[in-house]
Amino acid sequence: MQPFVFHNPTKIVFGPQMVKKVGKSTAGYGSKALLVYGQSSIKRTGVYDQVTASLQQAGVSWVEHGGVKSNPVLGHVRTGVALAKAEQVDVIVAVGGGSVLDASKSIAAGAKTDGDVWDFFIDQAQVREALPLITVLTLAATGSEMNSGGVVTNEQTKQKFNIGSPLLFPKVSILDPCLTYSVPADYTAYSAVDAISHLIEGYFTSADSATPLQDRFVEGLIKTIIECTEQILDQPDHADARATMMWAATWALNGLSTAGIGVYGFPNHMIEHSLSALYDVAHGAGLSIVMPGWMTYKAQQHPAKFAQFANRVFGCSGGSEQERALYAAEALKQWFRKIGSPVTLAEAKIPEQDIPAIADNATMLAQKWGLNEYNAEVIAAILKHCC
């Protein structure tokens, strides 16, 4: 195990009907909110009405900043920042999935700086202050509800980059699993892929092999996510499966799985971000294409951990270590296919001949994240495995 600091101050309020607590939770941080949400779905499902009724009851007024899209874009974040400043809001209330939460974190930071919010993404400025953030989650996937990071795409430069600061942990996150019952099958699958991706990044890239606690944590989470995703696809309002999936996705990226594992990377995210930036692929869909390819590449270098994964998650005990290691990639790929998430570039209508351009785009993030092993050639080789 390696040294670490773990500090996750987000308060989680979890359970059916907890959406009604948003007003009271928000009132603790101010009387005027910026209400951030996505497309029209929260109005269709009634969540919008529940949230605004609760705010009203708690004496919180609000201005609205709807229209966050999946793979949220910088332009819309900047509009939100301007609105938050002009209206002098005290607090941000984010109602949606990871995209809405990530955009809201960016606005929370942008509203408290005189500079441009994008500076936080390109390491030209550090977040020194931020508006408090309350979230109401409607999609169990990204873990943004209990961490301090966010991802936004600069639509001009085609950079899907990240912001991060301890000041960006939500103060309170309301996790009401009922709000996810209406998530359709495709996004349920992408969400499972996303949560799994968060877990395997650290699991497979940590240089420390003495992390039995974190290993079992990750393996147990992935087994559980696999189980409950299948239950949800079979029965979308399966209360226990939706609840378990919601909490599992939160755990998958709240710092628990990586505390103590030392240096690790996000190579799958690095490559996927280029797919999203260039083709606007849903994040989870991009990941289910990239992950099996990356795992096939990496399993050959460090087979032991991949073989352990194949054994503990998929019950594979036969064959050589190398064979089991490659089976880890194959088994996950087959499971992604089973739940209906794409596993090849072609399935997402991304032409194979674009691989060099994708690899070029991905090197920007590889450099930003210090993933020195990944030059354009290596990334292209990995993408070849995704065909």
Which of 114, 123, 184, 212 is the binder for a copy of itself (CB under 8 A)? 212
Of 147-155, 184-192, 222-230, 334-342, the window that binds a copy of itself (rule: CB under 8 A) is: 222-230
* β 32-37/61-65 pair status: parallel
User: At 61, is the secondary structure helix, strand, or coil?
Assistant: strand
Kind and range of the H or E element at 320? none
Q: How far apart are CA 179 and CA 47, in angstroms?
A: 7
In this chain, which of 256, 270, 339, 345 binds a copy of itself, going by CB under 8 A? 256
Given the rule CB under 8 A, which of 57-65, 132-140, 242-250, 277-285 is the region that contacts a copy of itself? Answer: 242-250
Residue 236 binds a copy of itself (CB under 8 A): no
Q: Does 14 bind a copy of itself (CB under 8 A)?
A: yes
CB of 249 to a copy of itself, least distance (A): 10
| Under rule CB under 8 A, residue 363 binds a copy of itself | no
- 230 is a site residue for a copy of itself (CB under 8 A): no
Out of 87, 116, 219, 321, the only residue in the binding site for a copy of itself (CB under 8 A) is: 219
Residue 306 and residue 329 in contact, taking contact as beta carbons nearer than 8 Å: yes
Stretch that binds a copy of itself, among 36-44, 61-69, 94-102, 216-224 (CB under 8 A): 216-224
Pick from 78, 85, 223, 368: which binds a copy of itself (CB under 8 A)? 223
In whole angstroms, what is the distance from residue 132 CA to residue 94 CA? 11
- Select from 81, 178, 228, 278 the one that contacts a copy of itself (CB under 8 A): 228
Q: According to the 3-state scheme, what is the secondary structure of 194-233?
A: HHHHHHHHHHHHCCCCCCHHHHHHHHHHHHHHHHHHHHHH
Taking the complex as a whole, how short is the minimal distance between the CB of residue 11 and a copy of itself, in angstroms? 4
Residue 140 binding a copy of itself, by CB under 8 A: no
> Looking only at residues 167 through 186 of this chain, which bind a copy of itself when binding is defined by CB under 8 A?
177
Residue closer to a copy of itself by CB (options 125, 213) is 213
Q: How far is the CB of 171 from a copy of itself (least distance, A)?
A: 10
**Residues 150 and 102 sit within 8 Å (Cβ to Cβ):** yes
Token look-up 């939706």 returns: 242
Is residue 165 near a copy of itself by the rule CB under 8 A? no
Residue 338 binds a copy of itself (CB under 8 A): no
CA–CA distance, 285 with 345 (Å, rounded to integer): 10
Q: How far is the CB of 243 from a copy of itself (least distance, A)?
A: 4
Question: Measured in whole angstroms, how far is the alpha carbon of residue 56 from the centre of its chain?
Answer: 30
- Taking the least distance from each CB to a copy of itself, the nearer of 31 and 224 is 224
C-alpha dihedral (77, 82, 87, 93), degrees to nearest 10: 10
SS (H, E, C) 160-171: EEEEECHHHCCC
| Of 58-66, 224-232, 345-353, 376-384: span binding a copy of itself (CB under 8 A) | 224-232
Question: Is 217 one of the binding residues for a copy of itself (CB under 8 A)?
Answer: yes
> Could you give the maximum distance between any two Cα atoms of the chain, in Å?
64
Query: By CB neighbour count within 10 A (0-12 exposed, 13-18 middle, 19+ buried), where does 358 fall?
Result: buried
Residue pair 280/69 in contact (Cβ under 8 Å)? The answer is no
Q: Which spans of this chain sit near a copy of itself (rule: CB under 8 A)?
A: 1-16, 18, 177, 210-213, 216-217, 219-221, 223-224, 227-228, 240, 243-244, 247-248, 251, 256, 259-260
